[in-house]
Amino acid sequence: MADAGELPEYRLYDYDPNLPANVVFTVLFSIVTIGQFYFLIRKRTWYFLAFAIACLFEAVGYAARCVAVKEAPNFTLTPFLIQTLLILLAPALMAASIYMVLGRLIRLLGAQEYAIVRTNWLTKIFVVGDVLSFMTQSAGGGLMAQAKTPDAMKQAEGIVLGGLAIQIVFFGMFIVTTIIFHRRILKRPTERSLRVEGPWRQLILALYISSVLIMVRSIFRMIEFGAGKQSILMQKEVFLLALDGVLMFLVGVVFLWKFPGDVLVGYKEVWQTTDEETLGSRGEGIPMVAGGKTAYQGVRSGEHGRYSTSVR
């Protein structure tokens, strides 16, 4: 007989995971992971490493769910803990990479004055919020996987909820920042934005699509954990697969379609300066992007620093 306060007939899953569905998601995320690492290495876009790792997290997480299928109904802790943490945390890593993309795009277009936050702080602020969300969700996910009593489960779910809330707040701020920047540069294009040949408008579209997908997924997970273990959202696997798995797979596909490395060529100005944003706003050193290489035109020197023509 179960002691008072313990969950009766406690099971790690409230359903038996579906093997074909989880195999499909494992294969899909594996394909996306291979694609992301291929472009990452080929184009040397190391700032996007967290995104590729996030895709790997998803693939391993769903593979762990496949392992759990064979264990039903006596599930073991290790596969459950792996899938819980990796699937829960992967979007936070994706968000961190997306934050970095916007900051680099603003610099590429010489549009620092259109950002509501200074570009040298923009990425830092959002990434710090993302790290806080990541750590909070990690702690909650770990506790949830080991919870054996209603009180312990409630506490763990509360911590996860806090992490998801942090993620939603910062991601909402990011979406607003992106919209304001986009509207401003459409209204008053910078000289650099008119010369850059890379498809930066499509990259902004990719940011919008991925942001909406991650936001919808995070809201779903927040409602799921808020409703508790006995809710239909946790008792039916289809909700997790449709509102987490499908949405995160689409985010991975979006950035295979428009990989940031195809656009953010030359986002770093090749000069030594003490006032980077002053130079950027003047449109000096316009990068001409073509064929995956960037030629910096207009050698200048003076009180703001010096940069040279180069192609890379």
Q: Where are the domains of the chain?
A: 19-265, 269-312
Label residue 193 by pLDDT band (50, 70, 90).
confident
**Homologous superfamily (CATH) for 19-265:** Rhodopsin 7-helix transmembrane proteins (1.20.1070.10)
Structure token pair of residue 219:
């809201």
The angle formed by the CA atoms of residues 293, 273 and 201, to the nearest 5 degrees, is 40
Label residue 120 by pLDDT band (50, 70, 90).
confident
- pLDDT tens track for 204-263: 999 999 999 999 999 999 999 888 778 899 889 999 999 999 999 999 999 999 999 888
Q: Report pTM.
A: 0.81
| Whole-angstrom distance, CA of residue 178 vs CA of residue 172 | 10
- pLDDT tens track for 277-309: 444 444 444 444 444 444 444 333 333 333 333
Packing angle between helix 246-257 and helix 77-108, nearest 10 degrees? 30
Residue 286 pLDDT: 43
Q: Which amino acid is at 6?
A: E
Contacts of 89 (CB under 8 A, 6+ apart): 57, 134, 137, 138, 141
| Whole-angstrom distance, CA of residue 167 vs CA of residue 269 | 31
| Whole-angstrom distance, CA of residue 38 vs CA of residue 50 | 14
Number of residues that make up the chain: 312
First-residue to last-residue Cα distance in the chain: 71
